[in-house]
Chains A and B, each alone.
Chain A
Amino acid sequence: MKNIVLLTGSSHPSLARRISESLGVELSRCNLGKFSNQESSVEIKDSVREKHVYIIQSGCGRVNDNVIELFILIQACRMGSAKRITVVTPLFPYSRQSERSQKKRLPQHQIGTEIMSSLLQTGETSPSLPQGAFAQSFMGMTSGEGGYRQWCARAGTLVANLLQAAGADHLIAMDLHDPQYQGFFHIPVDLIYAEPSIIQWIRSEVPNWRQAVVVSPDAGGAKRATSICNKLNLDFALIHKEDLANTESMGLVGEVEGRPAIILDDIIDSGSTVGLASEILKRHGATDIYAIAVHGVFSGPALEIIGRSPVTAVACTNTVPQEEFRRQCPKLKTIDIAPMLGEIIRRTFYGESVTQLFVHEEQT
């Protein structure tokens, strides 16, 4: 493939290497690092003049560092007269937008859910608690004093605008949390789905998958779960979280008695959703419990929660680097999506159709 340049940021170099192997194109040389005052330093060693550049960067690890490094890479390519710049973000940063889900992810809320869940038996506080003076004002604010409803900033539009302002011409992202996010951009966005890879994994790795039940751990993910269970011809169940003041109890809608259950979600972050869901499924008589998510972020005590839960195996794609997590938790398996990303890059480069990849044949 002539006139293509593959560049990787520092968030997920191993995925970029696998993509370059599957494409047969070498990664272009680029020195990434930090100056002594913590500013990001980017030096692209090969020429990008009149080439089609693909920059691979995932929104994981130190997110702000990786995001700014991505902007600087885009700018450097633009200043180097690249013909077209495509950004490939396996996990798009700052993609979770709805206010309800954001409030829940703030550290104080996490403490609340985790204390209530019987899984967290240690007396330590969550590592994600803010320290010192901020903690005081923070606790006061979330209890809603003063009659003003706090304004939680939503960074989604901002990040979309910043990417376009830096000079990106095209975006390839995988399984965005809100699919409407595509509309925030005026550049073309290609959304890829991990669904075919997940279906393939279920068929090959879940013994007696034909009797399994696909379970969505919340109401928002029902559409995602039904899509997969229709393609595999399986039954469906839903776990419904009922928020009553400060207690959360979850109810199961559907039957899992004596059958394996497959929990399907798009992101596993704190692990509390999967932990609570697997407890409920065990109580209702599921035999084996599998949890499959596209993005395995695993922040805080997530791996411990999963280790203690009745889950048999957890499978995530490698949009986020998984090697370190697999070392800590033997239940973790990885679904490799590098070949799919490589195929997308090849098709967009040659101007071929991408939807062919997602036409799925029904199998019994």
Chain B
Amino acid sequence: MSSNSIRILAGNSHPALARLIAKRLGTDLANVTVTKYSNQETAVTIGESVRDEDVYIVQSGCGEINDHLMELLIMINACKTASARRITAVLPCFPYARQDKKDKSRAPISAKLVANMLSVAGADHVITMDLHASQIQGFFDCPVDNLYGEPSVLRYIRENVPDWKNAIIVSPDAGGAKRATSIADHLDLDFALIHKERKKANEVSRMVLVGDVKDKVAILVDDMADTCGTLGLAAKTLMDNGASAVYAIVIHGVLSGKALDVINNSMLTRVVVTNTIPHAEKKKKCLKLDTIDVSAVLAEAIRRTHNGESVSYLFGHATI
């Protein structure tokens, strides 16, 4: 049996990340064009043969999510009908991950719908990063690799937060406590939690701090920052309780709506996001933003999947 090669296809959601991944793997992006017909339907044209190759399609759930989701599905289907050997969907930020349960009557479980659509389109494998709820892996029948940004976050804290040995890790809500305690244990730091009473969606009310942050650098850790209402209020609560500075580190920086204004007007010293979602434009408007590059983690996962090696090394160690 002849060996096949890695082909990386990029959609329109985050071509910069795809290029970084390809560079790290020592290859070029495959020749694929994704545009729209004049009636707004998506048009995908593959310009090279992918017969019997190991195809990785890099598309993040950000920006115009529905357009990017359809692009991904059509690309997967196009590769399947073009006889690719295996098709892996690489979704740094999984779309519709927050609608993962039926919390009120007639609510759709859109994460399950996305999982069904990916399987129906023909994906054999899914690689994603920091799923909102890791149980989403169970929605799929195909193997799912849920990578962690934690090792990269730990390295960032050690290298970039001055006086990190006196810092304290804070979770901005009760749901993220597990994530924050894991980081606190790895760094041997203290832990605190903010408990909020939420009245309406995207509107936060009273916040109560559990733990002592006096005279320490507080590091807020969360998986997603969308409108940043939570982060802004959390920073204020921490400063009111005596913290010396407040950093926020999130994996997926959606930063939609008025998020940048909220960050600029808040007491946050710095907001750090990974590049699962593109934010080069946003960095120009908000100088407090900083980036953790996770293309190396994704590229390593792709390489190990292709070679049949274990991926679990990446769960505990940051890539070089």
Contact = CB atoms under 8 A, between A and B. Distances in A.
Contact of B256 (A38, A60, A61, A166): A38
B41 A153 contact: no
Interface stretch (A64-72, A281-289, A305-313): A64-72
A204 B289 CA distance: 66
A71 B117 contact: yes
Nearest to B104: A43
Interface stretch (A74-82, A181-189, A325-333, A350-358): A74-82
A42 interface: yes
A16 B257 CA distance: 31
Contacts of B69: 64, 68
Given A71-B117, A76-B107, A165-B120, A63 B39 contact: yes
B77 A155 contact: yes
Interface in A38-66: 38-40, 42-45, 47-48, 59-65
Size band of the interface chain B makes with A: 35 or more
A63 B40 CA distance: 6
Interface stretch (A100-108, A212-220, A232-240, A334-342): A100-108
A127 B45 CA distance: 20
Contact of A157 (B77, B98, B112): B77
B65 A38 contact: yes
Nearest to B96: A39
Given A107-B38, A155-B74, A165-B120, 13 more contacts: A43-B106, A47-B106, A63-B41, A64-B41, A105-B43, A141-B45, A148-B47, A153-B78, A155-B41, A155-B44, A161-B120, A166-B113, A297-B39
A71 B113 CA distance: 8
A127 B254 CA distance: 30
Interface string A148-192: 101111110110011001100000000000000000000000000
A300 interface: yes
Given A36-B202, A79-B106, A138 B39 contact: no
Interface stretch (B29-37, B186-194, B204-212): B29-37
Given A157-B77, A158-B73, A165-B120, A47 B105 contact: yes
B121 interface: yes
Contact of A158 (B43, B62, B77): B77
A238 B15 CA distance: 47
Given A36-B202, A106-B43, A141 B108 contact: no
Contact of A141 (B31, B34, B39, B105): B31
A67 B70 contact: yes
Residue in B31, B66, B227 whose Cβ sees the most chain A Cβ within 10 Å? B66
B19 to A, nearest CB: 11
Residue in B38, B43, B77, B99 whose Cβ sees the most chain A Cβ within 10 Å? B38
9 contacts: A37-B62, A39-B96, A62-B66, A73-B108, A93-B41, A107-B35, A141-B33, A165-B119, A166-B116
Interface in A259-315: 269-270, 297, 299-300
B64 interface: yes
Contacts of B95: 39
A105 B43 CA distance: 10
A159 B142 CA distance: 20
Given A79-B106, A153-B75, A153-B77, A128 B36 contact: yes
Interface of B: 31, 33-49, 62-67, 69-70, 73-75, 77-78, 81-82, 95-96, 98-99, 102, 105-110, 112-113, 116-117, 119-121, 202, 226-227, 254, 256-257
Contact of A39 (B37, B45, B65, B75): B65
A269 B226 CA distance: 38
A217 B108 CA distance: 45
Given A76-B106, A138-B33, A150 B46 contact: yes
Contacts of A102: 43
Given A63-B40, A106-B37, A38 B226 contact: no
B126 to A, nearest CB: 16
B36 to A, nearest CB: 7
A105 B65 contact: no
Across the A-B interface, the 10 shortest Cβ-Cβ residue pairs:
A153-B78, A76-B108, A153-B44, A128-B38, A80-B106, A299-B38, A44-B106, A36-B257, A68-B66, A36-B256
Contacts of B38: 105, 107, 110, 126-128, 269-270, 299-300
A246 interface: no
Interface residues of A, number: 63
Contact of A162 (B81, B120, B227): B120
Interface string A112-150: 000000000000001110100010011001000010101
Contacts of A72: 108, 110, 113
Contacts of B202: 36
A8 to B, nearest CB: 15
A67 B66 contact: yes
A94 interface: yes
A264 to B, nearest CB: 20
Contact of B66 (A64, A106, A270): A64
Contact of A148 (B48, B108, B254): B48
B70 A64 contact: yes
A136 to B, nearest CB: 10
Contact of B108 (A65, A75, A151, A297): A75
B69 to A, nearest CB: 6
A133 to B, nearest CB: 9
